[in-house]
Amino acid sequence: MAMIPKITVDVELTLYEGTTQMGQVFINANQRVLDMLNEPAPYFPFRVTQTGQITLLNKSSVVAVRPLDQRG
């Protein structure tokens, strides 16, 4: 089975408590951010711009995602 390479997309996330985070999500090269969010996995990796730390976010804690580049 051929692996599809991952790319990063710069995004601004709004979380349920009202905070926003700038960072990157990791998606397959042939998909959009929305496609990744609609996958059945409840978590997704997110790299925080300010610290470079990668964390797993629960999709249910995200209320809005704004892609900041053309790939989103």
Structural domain spans, the chain? 6-67
Q: Tell me the C-alpha distance between 19 and 29, whole Å.
A: 28
pLDDT value, residue 67:
92
pLDDT value, residue 2:
72
Contacts of 69 (CB under 8 A, 6+ apart): 9, 10
Q: What are the pLDDT tens digits along the chain (72 aa)?
A: 677 789 999 999 999 999 999 999 999 999 999 999 999 999 999 999 999 999 999 999 999 999 997 655
pLDDT value, residue 69:
75
Contacts of 60 (CB under 8 A, 6+ apart): 16, 42
Please indicate, yes or no, whether the overall pTM of this predicted structure exceeds 0.75.
yes
Looking at 3.40.950.10, 2.30.30.100, 3.30.300.130, 3.30.420.130, the CATH number of the domain 6-67 comes to 2.30.30.100
pLDDT value, residue 3:
79
